[in-house]
Structure 1
Amino acid sequence: MFIDASTNSLTVSHRPTNAPSGLIESLKQYPTANVGDAMDRLNLMDTGIASQWANGRCVGPALTVLTREGDNLAIHRALDDAEPGDVLVINALGGTTRAVFGDLLAEICLAKGIAGVIIDGLTRDRAAIKELGLPVWARGVSPAGPAKYGPGAVSVPVACGGTVVNPGDLITADDDGVAVIPVERAQSVLSRLADIDKFEEDLRVRIRNSAVHAAAPAMASTN
C-alpha cells in the first residue's frame, strides 16, 4: 500500500481467475442498455450509481471491496491485488456523508491499470479525476475525506446499487449506468447481445426506409 496503516481489521480473500480476455473484448462493443436487455433487464445497478463525468466507459472483471461508511482502508489494500483491466467495485454502505475515493486513489488506480471504479457511496476531487481520465460511478460527491481504520473486506461478494456483485463478475458501465454480468452467464449473454444487435440494426433500416418512402410522395406533389 502507498499508505502506512495496519490492515489487521481487514479480511482479504483469494481472487478468482479473470474471464478470458477475448470475452471481455467482445463485450466492449455493446452498450450497457443492451447488456441489460440480454439479461432480461436484471442485474442493473440503481440509478443512484451515476457516471461522475460524461462519456466514461469501462468493461472488466470486478475487484470487490466492502468497507465501512466513510473509510477507505480496504480500498487501498484491494489495489495491492489489482490486475490491469479490473473494475473496482466498492460497497461503502451507500454512505452520503464522507467520500471514500479521491484523486490520489485515482492515481493509484491508473498506475495499476484499473479500467473504472464503481462506488455505492461518495467520491471527491471529481474535476481532478475527470482530468486524469479515470471513469467513476458513484452516488455523489462530497469534499469530506475518509478515515483509514477499517474494518473491511477484499474479494468478497458485495451489494452495490441494489445488485449482488461477486468477485470476477463482469462489469459494463457507461453514461446509462452499470450492469453486472455473472461470470458463469457471460458467454450466453454475449450470444444474446449479438442477436439483439442484429434485431436493432434491422429495425433501424426499416424505420429509415419507411421515412424515405413517406417523404417521396410529398416531394412529388410539390413538383
Structure 2
Amino acid sequence: MTASSESATWPSGFDVQPRQATLSPQLLDAFKSIPVAHAGDVMGRHTGAVGLKAYHHDLGLALCGTAITVRTRPGDNLMVHVAMQRAQPGDVIVIDGGGDLSTAVIGGLMRTTAVARQLGGFVLDGALRDVAEWAEGGLPVYARGHVHRGPSKDGPGQINVPISCAGMTVMPGDLILGDADGVIAIPANAAEAILALCQAHAQKEARIRAQNETGAVDRERFDLILRQKGCPL
C-alpha cells in the first residue's frame, strides 16, 4: 500500500476494523495437536515468523487461536489495549511493532488482564517487559526481545488490518499456531485444507520414524538425489 493510499484510508493514523472470525471451534481444537513444523512443511517450508523467542517458558503450552492484528508505532501500546478490549476468549493478539527493541509494548499488567479474559496469547514483533511474570506460564507469548523501558499510549495504530510480523504476513482472522519451534500464520480460507495435509504429513513422518528406529538406512533415497544432481557415486 502506498503512502497516499494509507493517508486516504487512515487520515488520522488510526483505524479500528471489526474482528474477523471464520474459524470454527472444532477446527481450532484440531490444530492444537498440529506441530508448527508440520504446518510449515506442508506450506512450503519457508514461511512463518523468524527471530521470536517464547517467554512463557512452558514450551508444551500450545498457541492456537484467531488473529487480532495490531499495527502500532514502535514503543506505543495504545492500540494493543484497544485490541485486547475487543478480543474474544482464545484470540491471539498479533502485533507489528516494527521490530523495535528500545521500548516495551506489552508487560505484566497486560498479561494479568489477558489471563483473566482468557485470551489465547501474544505474538509481538517488538519488546516486552516484566519477563518474570510472563515466565509464570498460563499464557503463550512470543516476542523479539525484552527491555525494562515502558511504552507511551498516544498512537497512532490500526487494528484488524493486514500486517507483517517477524517476517510473516498476517491477515485478521488467520489461524495463529505456536509451539517450541516458533509461530506460523495459517490463512483462514485455507485452514481446513492445510489441516488435512498436516494430518497426512504426520502419518508419513510416523512411518519414517518407525523405520529410523530400526537403524535401517535408506541409502538409495539420497543416492538418487545425488545422481540427479550429477554427482558421481
TM-score (norm 1): 0.87
Matched residues in 2 for 1:209 and 1:148: separation?
A: 59
Matches within 5 A, 1:50-69: 50-54=53-57, 55=59, 56-69=61-74
Matched residues in 2 for 1:207 and 1:76: separation?
A: 49
2:116 to 100, 111, 114: 111
Retained in 2: the 8 A contact 1:62–1:86? yes
Matched residues in 1 for 2:13 and 2:81: separation?
A: 13
Matches within 5 A, 1:1-223: 10-46=14-50, 48-54=51-57, 55=59, 56-131=61-136, 133-210=138-215
Deviation at 1:129, TM superposition (A): 1.8
Retained in 2: the 8 A contact 1:159–1:165? yes
Matched residues in 2 for 1:33 and 1:49: separation?
A: 15
Deviation readout 1:66-123 (Å, 9 max, x if unpaired): 1000000000001111111111100111111000000011111112211110000000
Q: How many pairs were matched up?
A: 203
Matched residues in 2 for 1:17 and 1:210: separation?
A: 47
Matched residues in 2 for 1:193 and 1:45: separation?
A: 18
* Structure 1 SS opposite 2:19: coil
The one-letter amino acid of 1:51's match is A
Deviation readout 1:26-70 (Å, 9 max, x if unpaired): 111111111101111143111x11212431421111011110000
* Structure 1 SS opposite 2:164: strand
Matched residues in 2 for 1:150 and 1:110: separation?
A: 24
Structure 1, unaligned stretches of length 5 or more?
A: 1-7, 212-223
Retained in 2: the 8 A contact 1:36–1:43? yes
Retained in 2: the 8 A contact 1:50–1:175? no
Matched residues in 2 for 1:53 and 1:19: separation?
A: 25
* Structure 2 SS opposite 1:29: coil
What is the Cα-based RMSD across aligned positions, in Å? Answer: 1.4
Kindly, what percent of the aligned residue pairs are identical? 38
Deviation at 1:126, TM superposition (A): 1.0
Dislocated runs of 4+, deviation >4 Å: none
Matched residues in 1 for 2:93 and 2:205: separation?
A: 31
Matched residues in 2 for 1:62 and 1:199: separation?
A: 29
Deviation readout 1:172-194 (Å, 9 max, x if unpaired): 01111111101111011101111
